[in-house]
Structure formats: C-alpha cells, structure tokens
Amino acid sequence: MLELHDINAAYGKVQVLHGLSLNVAAGEILCLLGRNGAGKSTTMKAIMGLVPISAGSMQLEGHEITGLPAHRVPKLGIGYIPQGRRLFAEMTVAENLQIGLMTRGKGGEVRERVLSMFPRLRERLHQRAETLSGGEQQMLATARALCLEPKVLLLDEPTEGLQPSMISLIRDVVLTLKEQGVAIILVEQRVDAVLEVADRIVFVENGRDAMTVTPDELRADKGLLQRFVGV
Amino acid sequence: MEFGPHLMLAMLEGLVQASVLTLTALGLSLVFGVMRVVNVAHGEFYMLGAVLAWWVTTMLGGNPAIGFVVALVVAPLLVGLMAAAADWLVLRRVEYDPERTIVATIGLLYIIQQVTLMTYGPDAHPVTPPFNTRLALPWYEFTDAGFQIYWPWGLSITSYKLFVIAAAIVTCLGLWLLMARSKIGLILRATQLDSETAQAFGIPVERVFALVFGMGAALAALGAVLVVPIQQAHYLMGGDPLLLSFIVVIIGGLGSLRGTVVAAILIGMSDGIISVFFTPTLAKMLATLLVAMVLVYRPQGLFGAKPA
C-alpha cells in the first residue's frame, strides 16, 4: 500500500532521516520502535509532506507521492493522528470533525459511522475540544482522522498519558480498521501494546530502519529491546 | 454651545472615526491572527483604497452615488487582489518568517507610497459623497416650563456619516458570520489555530494566507473608501490609520477580532472626544500611553489569550 525507499529528511539543516525504508500492506499493522529522537515521528511527518524530503521516494498504491505539497497528501487517503493530538483546541468537537470530513469531501454518512464508533463524542458535539478529557481528546483526534475514510492511517503515540480503559478502546479501534483493510503505521513506546497488535515491527535507529522483526521474534529475543530501545 | 450638546457632537464624530478604524484594525488583526505577519504596509493599502475610490468616481463621472457604489466594490477588490499578489510574490518567498516579513512589508510600504506619488501625484483630491443631508439633532433642557426639547445651533450630523457607521456595523456582522458560520471561516480558524495540522487535513495553507492577506487589505481599503468623502485622498494618508490600528490591535489583543472591535471603538471615540475638547496631539499621546500601560500590565491585550 505505502512504500518508503531510502528517505532522507531534515528540519532546516538538521538531518533526521538517513535513508529510511519501510512498507506497509493493506490490513497490516506496522509498528515503529526506537529511542527518542530516532526519527519515528519525523518519518510520519515526512510521509505527510510536513518535513521536506531531500532524497529517496515514496509510493502510495504504486503512485509516486514524493514531494507532493502537504495539503495534497491527506486527499489521497492518508489519515494522520499526530503526537499530542493537535486538535483545533478552540473549535467544537463538531467543527473538528467537519475539518476531517472536508479533507476528502465526505458527508453525513461517514460522520455517523465515525460517531457510532465513539458515542462519547456525540454527547459532546458542541463542546470546545480543549474542554475534553485526555481520553476524549484522543478519541476526537482518532475520529477526525477516520473522517477521511483513510487507506493508510498514521498513529503517533496514541496511548500516551491515557488510562487503561481508553488504551484498550484505541486498540480495539485500530484492530477494527485493520480488519477493514486499512494499512496502519503505529509509533508506540509501550512494548506490551506493540506485541499485542503488531504484524511486523521496524526498529528505527539514527534515522534508519535498523531491523524488521515479527512480534514472535521480539518475544524470543528480549536483547533486541535492550539494543534499540534501551530500557 | 453648552457642554451637553458639545459632548454629543464629539461622541458622534468619534463614532464615525471609530467605525473606519474598526474596519482598518480588523484587517490588521486578521492578518496577524492567521498568518502571524505584522503588516507594516497596512496603512498603504488603506491609502490605495482611498486613491482608487477617487480614480473610479472620477473615471465614471456622472451621478456621484453611482460612482461611489462602484468604488465601494471595486476599490477593496482591487486592493485585495494586489495584496494577495504581494503575499504570493514576496511574503511566501520569505517563508512568513516574522522578522523578514516586517522588512518585506516596509519595502511594500515605500513601493506603494512612491508609485502613488508618481502616478496620482502629491495633491489631495476629494470624493463627492453620494448623499450628504444635514440632520439637526435635538437636545433637552429643564426650564421653568419643565422638560423641553430644543434644537441647538450647530448640533447636527450628516446622513453620510450615519451611513459610515451603519456600513461599519454591517461589515463587522458580515465578517463575524463569515468566521463563525461559513466553511471559509472554519478553514481560516483551523489555519490560525494550527497551520501544520491544518495541512495534514488538506487545507492549502499558502492559498489561505494569500486570501487572508487580501481580505485584510480589502478591509482597510473599504474603511478608506468610506472615509474619503469626509477626508480627502492623499498619498501620505496611510500613516495615522497604521499607527492607530497597531494601537487598537495591541490593546484588543493580537489576533482577537472581538478585542479589536472593542478597542477600536474605545480608541476611536476617545480620540474624537479628546480632539474636540482638547487637541488631537493629546488624544494620540493618551492612546500611546494606554498602549504602554497595556503592554506593562496586560501584555496579551484586553481580549488576547494568555500565552501558554
């Protein structure tokens, strides 16, 4: 579905990605693991066109998307749930969803489907996003991305700072999307959560894809965590 | 004239000034709020609006009302297009960097001003108001005969000045509806709140910026078209509105449209009243002092959000 080949990317003069490659298929969950600053979030921003790419190429369903203006990328069906949620804080829940729906011209049907996945949001439609609890904000960030009916979904630390019931809700949503054939890239710090859902795991180190393993291989060799995540 | 009628006259004049200032300052505030660009050339877009209004009415000739209505539409539109082009050709190229945009808009200021001097010339030109009936206003007094209404000599306003006030109110309501209720408003607010995330949801931020810069300049131009039948068009007329708009936007809170309206009425009214009873210089001094006090005691402005 989505392929990255030898991507270089930099914030100004600071190069963060040095030849990173990965690919994710429809209905697959690919997890990125690595230390802080390894380049996981930057990889997502590079896919979204928010960080300029200086070398390498990206394809979505075989079509070249390298160097596309940032606002064109989501229109192709890539949904993004950024780290820290990044809601439009002063806007209402309904308005945040409206922005998501407008991205690919989706209508009331999609809105209903998304709201039925998160009934709590339906009760709070006219509340400002900044007044929601942390869990509700994460629901809204997820719902906003789902309003695109994405083919590819990027989740950047979706469970950060959430209580266990909310974490399991987010996990269920991710698994439902996987069943629907969405290609999912997940950045996650909690290794147990990764082992539960991942189909493949890419260790990111110094802006490169250092190693790709299956959850079983990771369970068998805990030394990998020591080496790439260093806990 | 007695104090009461005199004060009422001063307040009405102040309200006319406040109306024009509200539109001009809203333009500056909109541009800063969404783009984080301090537009030093804002006063020149105002001046261009006035000069274009003169140009349009002179070209058309005939009935002044027709020329004025055409100018009311054409001048803000042309100025808006010019500003959007300036954004696309200049500000976008300096990547909206705060310091470089200040220098770039200073450059724009001189280019617009000098081109106007070379083409329009150094003279001031009037525009005939579309209607200008003098309306006498009543006052009251208590005499031995009890409460009485009378018509003091000199207490009057023109129908055109009332129109300026009404036009400013209608424009503010229109802008509020646009921002709060329309799809474009939603896109503008999303860009203002988080332009990076807005891009991740398909909002073409660069085009939004060009639109906003154009809208901001068009608001200034609209204010100038309204003012030019009262005050003549001149190539240096952009200085005062720029200063007052900055004062208003700082007092109201940078980027807060509600605060801008409240501060514009406050500054416009006090400027009018103090100018009538004392001197215009004192009015400017007090306004600038108020800015200093706001910056010391409430740097985010009256309605601005506290920095996180």
CA–CA separation, B44 and A88 (whole Å): 34
Chain-chain contact of B197 with A86 (C-beta, under 8 angstroms): yes
Q: Does residue B155 lie in a domain region?
A: yes
Chain-chain contact of A82 with B197 (C-beta, under 8 angstroms): yes
* Shortest CA distance from B208: residue in chain A: A71
- Domain of residue B92: give its range: 3-297
Which residues from chain B sit within 8 angstroms of residue A102, using beta carbons? 183, 186-187, 201-202
Helices (H) and strands (E) in chain B, counts: 11, 4
Question: What are the residues facing B146 on neighbouring strands?
Answer: B143
Of A48, A102, A104, which has the smallest distance from its Cβ to B200's Cβ?
A: A48
**Read out DSSP for B118-180?**
HHT-SS-B----S---EEE--EEEEETTEEEEE--TT-EEEHHHHHHHHHHHHHHHHHHHHHH
Q: Does residue B194 lie in a domain region?
A: yes
Question: Is B188 at the interface with chain A, CB within 8 A?
Answer: no
Of B189, B193, B202, which has the smallest distance from its Cβ to A75's Cβ?
A: B202
How many contacts does A have with B, using Cβ atoms within 8 A? 60
pLDDT tens for each residue of chain A, 231 residues long: 899 999 999 888 888 999 999 999 999 999 999 888 888 999 999 999 999 999 999 999 989 999 899 999 999 999 999 998 999 999 999 999 999 999 999 988 999 999 999 999 999 999 999 999 988 999 999 999 999 999 999 999 988 888 888 888 888 999 999 999 999 999 988 888 888 889 999 999 888 898 888 888 888 888 888 888 875
CA–CA separation, B277 and B285 (whole Å): 15
Nearest-neighbour CA in chain B from A69: distance (Å) = 9
Q: Does residue B303 lie in a domain region?
A: no
Q: Does residue B169 lie in a domain region?
A: yes
Number of domain units in chain B: 1
pLDDT of B306: 60
CATH of the domain at B131: 1.10.3470
Q: Does residue B67 lie in a domain region?
A: yes
Q: Does residue B86 lie in a domain region?
A: yes
Which residues from chain A sit within 8 angstroms of residue B202, using beta carbons? 71-72, 74-75, 102-104
Q: Does residue B302 lie in a domain region?
A: no
Q: Does residue B308 lie in a domain region?
A: no
CA–CA separation, B43 and B247 (whole Å): 13
Which residues from chain B sit within 8 angstroms of residue A69, using beta carbons? 204
**Digit-coded pLDDT (tens) for B213-241:** 999 999 999 999 999 999 999 999 999 89
Helix, coil or strand: residue A218:
helix
Question: Is B85 at the interface with chain A, CB within 8 A?
Answer: no
Give the residue numbers in A contacting B (CB under 8 Å), as ranges.
48-50, 69-75, 80, 82, 86, 88-91, 95, 98-100, 102-104, 144, 148
pLDDT at B1 over 70: no
Chain-chain contact of A70 with B199 (C-beta, under 8 angstroms): yes
ipTM of this complex: 0.91
Nearest-neighbour CA in chain B from A95: distance (Å) = 7
